[in-house]
Structure 1
Amino acid sequence: MSLLVVKDLKKAFGGNIAVDGVSFELKAGELLALIGPNGAGKTTTFNMVNGQLPATAGSIQLNGRELVGRPPRQIAHMGVGRTFQIAATFASLTVIENVQLAILAHERKIYSFWKPAASYYRDKAMSLLEQVGMDSQAERPCSELAYGDVKRVELAIGLANDPVLLLMDEPTAGMAPKERNELMALTKKLVIDRNMAVLFTEHSMDVVFAYADRMIVLARGRLIAEGSAEDIRNHPKVQEVYFGTGKTFEKKQSDATA
Structure 2
Amino acid sequence: MTLLTVRGLGKSFGGVKAVDGIDFDLKAGELLALIGPNGAGKSTTFNMVNGQLKADRGSIKMNGTELIGLAPRAIWRLGVGRCFQIAETFSSLTVIENVQMALLSHDNQLFSFFKPASSHARDKALELLSQVGMQEQADRPCSELAYSDVKRVELAIALANEPKLLLMDEPTAGMAPKERNDMMAMTKRLVIERGIAVLFTEHSMDVVFAYADRISVLARGRLIAHGTPDSIREDRNVQEVYFGGGSTFALNPSKAVEVSQ
TM bin, normalised by shorter chain, reads over 0.9
What are the within-5 Å matches in structure 2 for residues 129-208 of structure 1? 129-208=129-208
RMSD: 1.9
**Structure 1 residue 112: Cα displacement:** 4.8
What are the within-5 Å matches in structure 2 for residues 84-123 of structure 1? 84-112=84-112, 115-123=115-123
| Conserved? CA contact 1:233–1:249, under 8 Å | no
TM-score by length of 2: 0.94
**Structure 1 residue 219: Cα displacement:** 0.4
**Any unmatched runs of 5+ in structure 2?**
none
**Structure 1 residue 115: Cα displacement:** 4.4
Q: Where does residue 125 of structure 2 map in the other structure?
A: 125
**Structure 1 residue 249: Cα displacement:** 4.4
1:98-122 Cα deviation digits (max 9, x unpaired) = 0000111222323457743111121
**Any unmatched runs of 5+ in structure 1?**
none
1:45 correspondence with 2:45: yes
Distance 1:109 1:251 in 2: 48
| Amino acid paired to 2:93 | L
Q: Where does residue 216 of structure 1 map in the other structure?
A: 216
Distance 1:49 1:26 in 2: 12
Distance 1:124 1:248 in 2: 40
Q: Secondary structure at the match of 2:101?
A: helix
Residues 160 and 174 of structure 1: CA distance in aligned 2, closer, same or farther (over 3 Å): same
1:181-221 Cα deviation digits (max 9, x unpaired) = 10000000000000110000111111101100000000010
| Conserved? CA contact 2:40–2:221, under 8 Å | yes
1:59-88 Cα deviation digits (max 9, x unpaired) = 000001110100110000001011000111
Q: Where does residue 229 of structure 1 map in the other structure?
A: 229
**Structure 1 residue 17: Cα displacement:** 1.0
| Amino acid paired to 2:239 | Q
Q: Where does residue 57 of structure 1 map in the other structure?
A: 57
**Structure 1 residue 164: Cα displacement:** 0.5
Distance 2:227 2:115 in 1: 51
Q: Secondary structure at the match of 1:59?
A: strand
